[in-house]
């Protein structure tokens, strides 16, 4: 009988593998691997024989190359050895010499700018160039501004002339009025 309605099933049916069974499995896997290596080396040697035209003029170095190829093929996992795929995103590290690194550092003294930084620099240069041309009066907007300024100057000069004429006219009218009042006063007295 259990302790109420809650029963713990942990550890009830534990199963341990015998060391003999583990050793047997390891041996079987090793035999399969050796068979695969033999098949790969047999097929590669058959292909080499066909490529050589059935001649046996191959040297020992060619045999060692085929063995190294079979080693690399045996290390391939899954369908890597069936399909040759080149991943463009995979970066393979290459060993560089110290002299090459020093040259690269000397050449890379100027860091490359990002797109945003480049665009910002181009905008600043264009703005400075525009300001320079605008100050020299070579842009369309500068010409329009200068024409507008000339019109405004002319209008102001005309307005100033008109005010002076009106001022003179008022002074003349005031003098005439004075003279008239003086005559009128002079006649009565």
| 3-state DSSP assignment of residue 186 | helix
pLDDT reported for residue 60: 47
| 3-state DSSP assignment of residue 120 | helix
66 and 41 in contact (C-beta within 8 Å)?
yes
Q: For the segment 42-67, what is each residue's pLDDT rounded down to a tens digit?
A: 777 666 655 555 444 444 444 445 55
106 and 114 in contact (C-beta within 8 Å)?
no
57 and 83 in contact (C-beta within 8 Å)?
no
DSSP characters for 78-114?
Answer: TTTTTS----TTPPPP----HHHHHHHHHHTTSPPPP
| Number of domains forming the structure of the chain | 2
Backbone angles phi, psi at 177, to 5 degrees: -65, -40
pLDDT reported for residue 41: 82
d(CA 90, CA 2): 59
pLDDT reported for residue 135: 87
pLDDT reported for residue 162: 95
Domain of residue 37, residue span: 21-52
Quick one: tokens of 74? Answer: 């045996």
Q: Report the phi/psi class of residue 181: left, alpha or beta, with left for phi > 0 and alpha for psi in -120 to 50.
A: alpha
CB half-sphere exposure, 32, CA atoms < 13 A: 6
Q: Is residue 163 part of a domain?
A: yes
47 and 69 in contact (C-beta within 8 Å)?
no
Quick one: tokens of 182? Answer: 């003086």
Q: Is residue 131 part of a domain?
A: yes
| 3-state DSSP assignment of residue 80 | coil
Q: Is residue 87 part of a domain?
A: no
62 and 48 in contact (C-beta within 8 Å)?
yes
pLDDT reported for residue 50: 58
Q: Is residue 61 part of a domain?
A: no
Which residues in the chain come in under a pLDDT of 70?
1-4, 11, 45-76, 79-80, 85, 108-111, 187-189
Whole-prediction pTM value? 0.32
CA 143 to chain CA centroid, Å, is 41
Quick one: tokens of 151? Answer: 């019109």
pLDDT reported for residue 56: 46
Q: Is residue 37 part of a domain?
A: yes
């Amino acid at each position: 009988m259990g302790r109420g309605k809650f029963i713990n099933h942990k550890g009830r049916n534990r199963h341990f593998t015998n060391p003999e069974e583990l050793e047997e499995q390891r041996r079987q896997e090793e035999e399969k691997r050796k068979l695969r290596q033999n098949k790969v080396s047999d097929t590669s040697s058959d292909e080499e024989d066909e490529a050589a035209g059935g001649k046996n003029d191959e040297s020992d170095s060619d045999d060692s190359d085929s063995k190294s190829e079979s080693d690399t093929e045996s290390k391939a996992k899954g369908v890597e050895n069936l399909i040759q795929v080149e991943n463009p995103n995979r970066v393979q590290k290459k060993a560089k010499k110290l002299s090459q690194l020093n040259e690269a550092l000397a050449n890379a003294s100027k860091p490359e700018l990002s797109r945003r930084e480049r665009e910002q620099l181009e905008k600043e240069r264009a703005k400075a160039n525009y300001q320079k041309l605008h100050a020299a009066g070579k842009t369309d907007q500068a010409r329009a501004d200068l024409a507008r300024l000339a019109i405004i100057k002319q209008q102001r000069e005309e307005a100033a002339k008109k005010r002076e004429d009106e001022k003179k006219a008022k002074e003349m009218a005031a003098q005439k009025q004075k003279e008239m009042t003086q005559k009128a006063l002079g006649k009565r007295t």
